[in-house]
Amino acid sequence: MTTEQLKEPSRRYSAELLELHKVRMKNAGFCRMSAWVSDTLRDKLAEERRQGECTGRTLERLLLGEAAKRPAFGYGSKEGQEPAPARGDSR
C-alpha cells in the first residue's frame, strides 16, 4: 500500500461498505443487470426518478407499480453488524 492510499481511508472504507452492500442485495434476492438504452429512455428514466431513488427502483416502480424493499446501505456499519438506517429513513 502506498502512502497516498493510506492518506485516503474514506475511499477504502467506502469500497468495503459497497462490497458488503452487494452481498446484502444478493442475499435479499436481487441481481445486478446492465443494459444498453437509448438517449430517449435514459432521459425518461431521469425524468421519472424520485429523489434518493436508484435506477433499479425507478424501473421496478414504473414496470411493476411498486419497488421491492431493499436492504439498507450500511452507512458506517461494519461486517457482522446491522446496517445503519438509510439517510432519511426514520426506522
pLDDT tens for each residue of 15-73: 888 888 899 999 999 999 999 999 999 999 999 999 988 899 999 999 999 988 888 87
Range of the domain at 62: 33-68
Considering the domain architecture, whether residues 27 and 37 belong to the same structural domain is answered as no
Residue 89 lies in a domain: no
d(CA 59, CA 23) in angstroms, rounded, equals 21
Considering the domain architecture, whether residues 3 and 19 belong to the same structural domain is answered as yes
Taking the complete model, does pTM exceed 0.75, yes or no? no
Give pLDDT, residue 76: 57
pLDDT of residue 77 exceeding 90:
no
Q: How many domains does the chain have?
A: 2
Residue 3 lies in a domain: yes
Considering the domain architecture, whether residues 20 and 47 belong to the same structural domain is answered as no
